[in-house]
Chains A and B, each alone.
Chain A
Amino acid sequence: MRKVSRLSRFNIASLALGLAFLYLPILILVIYSFNASRLVTVWGGWSLRWYHEFFADRAMIEASWMSLRVAVSSATIATLLGTLAAVALARGERFRGRTLFSGMLYAPLVMPEVITGLSLLLLFVALNAERGFWTVTIAHTTLTMCFVAVVVQSRLGSLDRSLEEAAMDLGCAPVRAFLLVTLPLIAPAIVAGWMLAFTLSLDDLVIASFTTGPGSATLPIRIYSEVRLGVKPEINAICTLVIALIAVVIVIASLASKLSSSQGESAAPL
């Protein structure tokens, strides 16, 4: 008995330290974004000064707008393609080229981003495509549809197949059975997949740097070039705004996955 309680005290300590390690830096960043002082390290009282500065910075606003547009369009296309891929893998059983297909879907999840970015850029150059909004959107779609496919596929895998089979036994055509029975059941995973694709696209620096053209920088590219020049308090404010946006997305996604877990077994892991 004594042994167990000593063990669990160690457990709780490691958990608490781990979570503190994960959250304290972000918390400090958010607090300092309201700092009135020009010096990032000296506390000069609460102020919204750096938020004003951000909204007056045209280049930053344009980059934010570009990032949002890319994130919404690439997440939408990626959700469509990723869901189709998940359905094919989870329900298509054996088909020709299945191994290659699933390999292509898993590889980008772990592939270093420099390689993905470089190879896509070389393709766009060879095709003589003008680089900008669409090339970044295509690149992000390629990366994020793999994440969507994994999330949706794990939901499809845990789904009770007898429901869709019952619909077909009662005379429903397969596509109709999918639309009327399966799709509503996996909808929460699809929503979560879209959210994941959206935040991944919003976050990406490396692939966007390779695939975008002059004059169409995304927000991470702008932040990166500013950070390389040194710490500016304005960046704290932008980062806090991005964190707030992502927090909203997480709340929606977790509501969706709560819906999903109340309908079936465990929710998608991401």
Chain B
Amino acid sequence: MSARRIFARPARFAAIAPYVWMVLFFLVPFGFVLKISLSQTVIAQPPYEPLFDLTAGWTAIQAAFAALSIDNFRLLASDDLYVFAYLRSLTVALTATGLLLLIGYPIAYGMARLPKRWQAVAMVLVIVPFWTSFLIRIYAWINILQHDGLLNQILLALRLVSQPVVWLSTDTAMYIGIVYSYLPFMILPLYATLARMEPALEEAASDLGAPPWQVFWLVTFPLSLPGVGAGVLLCFIPIVGEFVIPDLLAGSNSLMIGQTLWLEFFTNKDWPVASAAAILLLVVLLLPLLFYERLQRRQLEER
């Protein structure tokens, strides 16, 4: 038996503790969300019907199943508020991801073309803001974007506008906040694939007479698609559920699904409907999540 095989057995035992933990605190909780999304709202503490009582045996389980209802989901589908919230979440996430790709790609490309030594420095510089609290970074933008904030002061001083522009509580502010917070998540996977790319391919295309835009569009971009995919998913999925950035920077008239869920939970105390909203959000995100998981595994196998 090779040393490799001998090592594998105790290494498998290492999985036990984290496995149990993840089942207990990640998988099981979803069961509760599912159960509560199918139960009735009551005015009590906790504000939903209790889970079935196992001590009462089979009849209790049958009763619990009989009590399950999809009313909460019907409510979500029939209420415009929720439908709009889902649509808005998807629109915002798509737009923001597009903006991130447009802004992040040139930066990642510039990084990948730097001399090797400077690439490491640039990477650290991009990662550092990611380590800095995102709430603080959003707060920094509130400082800049508010009515008498720095941006308006500069615009007024340059005489580009005659009176302060309203930035806060607009979608523009929200997009600035989202792009600012998620930029490292877009740059890093893009940079990883661009840096690994063979420069000879671009040179060959250029030697054969392709103008720069054609070199980029026909050679560089298609080769960077795995990075584009990873970056898009890393940004898109969390942005759909984003709550804090739209709450602090966007106006209050049209909510995203994360905000709706939060309000339903903390303000209306309607836990079953909040749970149903969470389940729906999860279903919407399941496809890209599964896709992401496969992508991750393929990358690990390539290594």
Interface residue ranges, A against B (CB under 8 Å): 3, 6-8, 10-12, 14-15, 18-19, 21-23, 25-26, 28-29, 32, 39-41, 80-82, 84-85, 87-93, 95, 97, 101-108, 110-116, 118-120, 122-123, 125-126, 138-139, 141-142, 145, 149, 157-158, 161, 164-165, 168-169, 174-175, 177-178, 196, 199, 202-203, 205-206, 210, 220, 223-224, 227-228, 231, 235-236, 239, 242-243, 246, 249-250, 254, 269-270
Contact = CB atoms under 8 A, between A and B. Distances in A.
A64 to B, nearest CB: 12
A113 B293 contact: no
Interface of B: 2-15, 17-19, 21-23, 25-30, 32-33, 36, 46, 51, 103, 106-107, 109-111, 113-114, 122, 124-129, 131-137, 139-144, 146, 148-150, 153, 180, 183-184, 187-188, 192, 206, 212, 233-234, 237-238, 240-244, 247-248, 258, 261-262, 265, 271, 274-275, 278, 281-282, 285, 289, 292-293, 296-297, 300, 303
A227 B125 contact: no
B14 A88 contact: yes
B115 to A, nearest CB: 11
A22 B125 CA distance: 9
Contacts, number: 275
Contacts of A141: 21, 25
B289 A110 contact: yes
A227 B143 CA distance: 10
Contacts of A142: 21-22, 25-26
Q: A interface, by DSSP: helix, strand, loop or mixed?
A: helix
B129 A22 contact: yes
B14 A41 contact: no
Contacts of A91: 7-8, 11, 14
The 7 closest A-B pairs by CB, nearest first: A112-B241, A88-B15, A119-B29, A11-B110, A14-B106, A18-B107, A91-B11
Most chain B CB within a 10 A radius of its CB, from A39, A84, A169, A175: A84
Given A115-B282, A126-B51, A145-B21, A246 B133 contact: yes
